[in-house]
Structure 1
Amino acid sequence: MNFFGLGKKKSPSPQELWRLIRSDLEKLEKLDPTAADSKHQIDKLNKDAAERLTQVLSHLPLATDYEDKQLPSDEARDAIVSSMLSDDTLVMIARDLGKYEFEVKRLVSQIFSNLMTAKEEESGKRPALEYVLNHKTLIDHLVAGYEASASGKQPTTVPHVGEMLRACAGYDELVRYVLETGHVYRLIDAVKLQNFDVASDAFVSLREFLVKKKNASAEFIQDHFDEFFDKYWEILNTSNYVTVRQSLKVLSELLLDRTFLRPMLKYVKNEKFLMLHMDQLRNESKAIAFEAFHLFKIFVANPQKPPRVHKILYANRDRIIRFLNQFLVDREEEQFVADKQTILQKLEQLPPPPDSPTQTQAAPATQQPQPQAEAEGASGEPTAPQQQQQQPEGHERPEEQPPAAAAASASSDAPQEAPAAAAEAAVAGSGEAAPETETGGGS
Structure 2
Amino acid sequence: MKGLFIKPKPRTPADVVRQTHDLLIYADSCESKREEKMAELSKNMRELKCILFGNSESDSEPVSEACAQLTQEFFRENTLRLLIMCVPKLNLEARKDATLVVAILQRQRVHSKLIASDYLEANLDLIDVLIQGYGDKEMALHYGAMLRGCIRHQCVARYVLESEHMNKFFDYIQLPNFDIAADAAETFKELMTRHKSMVADFLSNNYDWFFAEYNSKLLESSKYITRRQAVRLLGDILLHSSNSAVMTRYVSSRNNLRILMNLLIESSKSIQIEALHVFKLFAANQNNKPADIVGILVANRSKLLQLFADFKIDREDEQFESDKAQVVREIAALEPKLELS
TM-score, scaled relative to structure 1:
0.68
* Alpha-carbon shift at residue 111 of structure 1 (Å): 1.7
- From 39, 44, 48, the counterpart of 2:40: 48
Structure 1 residues 169 and 5, CA gap change in structure 2 (3 angstroms): farther
* Alpha-carbon shift at residue 318 of structure 1 (Å): 2.0
- From 83, 90, 94, the counterpart of 2:84: 94
* Alpha-carbon shift at residue 263 of structure 1 (Å): 0.7
* Alpha-carbon shift at residue 290 of structure 1 (Å): 1.7
State the Cα deviation string for residues 211-256 of structure 1 (Å, max 9, x = none): 1111111111111001111222212222221121111111111111
1:49-88 counterparts in 2 under 5 A?
Answer: 49-60=41-52, 74=65, 77-88=67-78
> Which has the larger share of helix?
2
The match for 1:116 is 106
Q: Output the amino acid matched with 1:89.
A: T
* Alpha-carbon shift at residue 29 of structure 1 (Å): 3.1
State the Cα deviation string for residues 400-442 of structure 1 (Å, max 9, x = none): xxxxxxxxxxxxxxx9xxxxxxxxxxxxxxxxxxxxxxxxxxx
Structure 1 residues 333 and 81, CA gap change in structure 2 (3 angstroms): closer
The match for 1:22 is 21
Structure 1 residues 329 and 24, CA gap change in structure 2 (3 angstroms): closer
State the distance in 1 between where 2:304 and 2:185 align.
Answer: 32
Q: Output the amino acid matched with 1:193.
A: L
Structure 1 residues 318 and 78, CA gap change in structure 2 (3 angstroms): closer
* Alpha-carbon shift at residue 3 of structure 1 (Å): 2.8
The match for 1:333 is 317
- The answer to whether the aligner puts 1:138 opposite 2:130 as a matched pair is no
Verify the 8 A CA contact 2:46 2:94 in the aligned structure 1.
no
State the distance in 1 between where 2:283 and 2:84 align.
Answer: 47
* Alpha-carbon shift at residue 9 of structure 1 (Å): 4.7
- From 278, 281, 302, the counterpart of 1:298: 281
State the Cα deviation string for residues 320-366 of structure 1 (Å, max 9, x = none): 2222222236564232222212211211111112139xxxxxxxxxx
- From 248, 252, 274, the counterpart of 1:265: 248
State the distance in 1 between where 2:297 and 2:252 align.
Answer: 12
Verify the 8 A CA contact 2:291 2:336 in the aligned structure 1.
no
Q: Output the amino acid matched with 1:104.
A: A
Verify the 8 A CA contact 1:105 1:160 in the aligned structure 2.
yes
1:219-298 counterparts in 2 under 5 A?
Answer: 219-233=201-215, 234-298=217-281
- From 318, 326, 333, the counterpart of 1:349: 333
Deviates more, 1:224-233 or 1:316-325: 316-325
Verify the 8 A CA contact 1:28 1:99 in the aligned structure 2.
yes
State the distance in 1 between where 2:236 and 2:40 align.
Answer: 45
State the distance in 2 between where 1:199 and 1:336 align.
Answer: 29
Q: Secondary structure at the match of 1:117?
A: coil
Structure 1 residues 241 and 216, CA gap change in structure 2 (3 angstroms): same
State the Cα deviation string for residues 87-139 of structure 1 (Å, max 9, x = none): 33322322332221112112212222222112123xx2211111111111111
The match for 1:4 is 3
State the distance in 1 between where 2:297 and 2:8 align.
Answer: 79
* Alpha-carbon shift at residue 182 of structure 1 (Å): 3.2
Q: Output the amino acid matched with 2:2.
A: F
**Structure with greater contact order relative to length (CA < 8 Å, sep ≥ 6):** 1
Pairs aligned (count): 331
State the distance in 2 between where 1:244 and 1:268 align.
Answer: 18
Verify the 8 A CA contact 1:191 1:203 in the aligned structure 2.
yes
State the distance in 2 between where 1:280 and 1:30 align.
Answer: 55
* Alpha-carbon shift at residue 309 of structure 1 (Å): 1.0
* Alpha-carbon shift at residue 24 of structure 1 (Å): 2.8
Verify the 8 A CA contact 2:158 2:198 in the aligned structure 1.
yes
State the Cα deviation string for residues 24-65 of structure 1 (Å, max 9, x = none): 33333355xxxxxx9x96653332101122333344356xxx
Verify the 8 A CA contact 1:314 1:353 in the aligned structure 2.
no
Q: Secondary structure at the match of 2:77?
A: coil
- From 200, 203, 206, the counterpart of 2:188: 206
Structure 1 residues 86 and 329, CA gap change in structure 2 (3 angstroms): closer
Q: Output the amino acid matched with 1:273.
A: N
Verify the 8 A CA contact 1:90 1:138 in the aligned structure 2.
no
Gaps of 5+ in 2: 55-62
Structure 1 residues 45 and 189, CA gap change in structure 2 (3 angstroms): farther
Verify the 8 A CA contact 1:175 1:209 in the aligned structure 2.
yes
* Alpha-carbon shift at residue 83 of structure 1 (Å): 2.5
State the distance in 1 between where 2:299 and 2:268 align.
Answer: 26
State the distance in 2 between where 1:331 and 1:269 align.
Answer: 33
The match for 1:218 is 200
* Alpha-carbon shift at residue 274 of structure 1 (Å): 0.2
Verify the 8 A CA contact 2:200 2:246 in the aligned structure 1.
yes
- From 167, 170, 174, the counterpart of 1:192: 174
Structure 1 residues 355 and 158, CA gap change in structure 2 (3 angstroms): closer
Verify the 8 A CA contact 1:113 1:163 in the aligned structure 2.
yes
State the distance in 1 between where 2:11 and 2:315 align.
Answer: 63
Q: Output the amino acid matched with 1:324.
A: F
State the Cα deviation string for residues 362-412 of structure 1 (Å, max 9, x = none): xxxxxxxxxxxxxxxxxxxxxxxxxxxxxxxxxxxxxxxxxxxxxxxxxxx
Q: Output the amino acid matched with 2:221.
A: T
Q: Output the amino acid matched with 1:26.
A: I
State the identity %.
28
